[in-house]
């Protein structure tokens, strides 16, 4: 079996957001171990050679482990050994921000003796050498949790994280989908239900789609909706959202919502290749 190909060593100041960063890397497919004792590292690296699920690992190590502080260069050399691709990420934040965070979350700082401020200063001294070897330093002082998540995924994937866009057609008489982030009501469009030859068909049939989409209201609706979604999707992606579900509703979920959702999928595929469609109430 191949050696581990990618390891992220995540370290930094207590309160700078390591827990949020670890969760983001876990969502990106990394096998994450937080607060790993340094004495377990050699066994872990040896075991990883024969375990494909450890092909990408994120290891959280910090000043709580005295062995990590005193032997950081040796540990980094160990992680770079073999075929390992190592990236050291150091999370930083201003003193005032760290003080505020510890006040808000009411957790004890690991070095708060005699005070949190003194603990922060002591930790900075302990981690100075590790910070000097970091490949990336992220200052989280002005980052929201979503912003930190986005930064972590950029480094993990080598680019901007993927946003999966889902389109859900539905009928309002059955209730809106609970998972929808955005809802659009298309009950103002011409209704094929009242056309005898179209009533037994659905919005995936060409004749029904043409009846709905070739109308003037539908053309103007899509002409206005597409630029809005082309603006919104990158904004949600930048904010760190992983899934965006767009609900398209008509009365029964058979004709108009289905036709509009299918057309939107065609239009949005030019912008993203991670788009999925579900016709919830299609019989």
Query: Per residue in 246-275, pLDDT tens?
Result: 999 999 999 999 999 999 999 998 766 678
- Is the pLDDT at 33 greater than 50? The verdict is yes
Q: How confident is the model at residue 125 (pLDDT cuts 50, 70, 90)?
A: very high
Is it the case that residue 154 has pLDDT exceeding 80? no
Chain centroid to CA 78: how far? 30
What is the residue extent of each domain of the chain? 6-157, 164-279
State both tokens at 187.
């009950």
* Residue 9 DSSP symbol: E
Highest mean pLDDT pick, 94-108, 122-136, 201-215: 201-215
> What's the average model confidence in pLDDT over 6-22?
93
Cα gap 85→87, rounded to integer Å: 7
- Is 60 exceeded by the pLDDT of residue 28? yes
Q: Look up the CATH superfamily of 6-157.
A: P-loop containing nucleotide triphosphate hydrolases (3.40.50.300)
pTM: predicted TM-score of the whole model, two decimal places: 0.64
pLDDT at 36 over 70: yes
Rounded Cα distance, 112 and 92, in Å: 18
**Alpha carbon distance 13, 92 (integer Å):** 6
Q: State the pLDDT at residue 273.
A: 63
**What is the percent of the chain with per-residue pLDDT over 90, rounded to a whole number?**
59
- The H-or-E segment that residue 279 falls in is strand 275-279
pLDDT at 158: 55
The answer to whether residue 280 scores a pLDDT higher than 90 is yes
Give 200-229 pLDDT, tens digit per residue.
999 999 999 999 999 999 999 999 999 999
Provide the pLDDT confidence category of residue 1 given band limits of 50, 70 and 90. Answer: very low
Here the contacts of 225-230 (C-beta below 8 Å, separation 24 or greater) are 225/184, 225/264, 226/264, 226/267, 226/268, 229/264, 229/268, 230/271
Report whether 22 contacts 10 (CB < 8 A).
Answer: yes
Average pLDDT over residues 183-189: 97
pLDDT of residue 52: 85
Q: Are 110 and 12 in contact (CB under 8 A)?
A: no
Q: Map 59-72 to HEC letters.
A: EECCCCCHHHHHCH
| Cα–Cα distance, 109 to 98 (Å, whole number) | 10
Confidence check: pLDDT of 241 > 90 = no
Whether the pLDDT of residue 84 is over 80: the answer is no
44 vs 4, higher pLDDT = 44
């Amino acid at each position: 079996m191949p050696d581990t190909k990618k390891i992220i060593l995540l370290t930094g100041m207590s309160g700078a957001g390591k827990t949020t960063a670890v969760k983001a890397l876990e969502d990106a497919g990394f096998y994450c171990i937080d607060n790993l004792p340094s004495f377990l590292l050699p066994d872990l690296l040896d075991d990883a050679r024969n375990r494909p699920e450890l092909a990408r690992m994120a290891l959280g190590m910090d000043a709580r482990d005295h062995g990590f502080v005193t032997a950081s260069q040796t540990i980094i050399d160990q992680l770079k050994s073999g075929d390992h691709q190592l990236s050291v990420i150091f999370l930083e934040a201003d003193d005032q921000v760290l003080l505020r965070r510890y006040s808000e979350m009411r957790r004890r700082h690991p070095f708060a003796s005699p005070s949190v401020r003194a603990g922060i200063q002591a930790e900075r001294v302990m981690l100075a050498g590790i910070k000097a070897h970091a490949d990336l330093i992220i200052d989280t002082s002005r980052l929201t949790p979503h912003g930190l998540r986005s930064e972590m995924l950029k480094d993990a994937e080598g680019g901007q994280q993927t946003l999966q866009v889902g389109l859900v057609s539905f009928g309002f008489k059955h209730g809106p989908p609970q998972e929808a982030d955005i809802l659009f009501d298309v009950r103002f469009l011409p209704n094929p239900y009242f056309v005898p030859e179209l009533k037994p068909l659905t919005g995936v049939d060409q004749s029904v789609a043409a009846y709905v989409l070739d109308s003037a209201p539908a053309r103007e609706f899509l002409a206005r909706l597409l630029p809005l979604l082309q603006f919104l999707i990158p904004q949600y992606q930048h904010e760190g959202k992983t899934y965006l579900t767009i609900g398209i509703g008509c009365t029964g979920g058979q004709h108009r919502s289905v036709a509009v959702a299918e057309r939107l999928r065609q239009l949005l595929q030019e912008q993203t290749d991670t788009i999925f469609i579900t016709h919830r109430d299609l019989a």
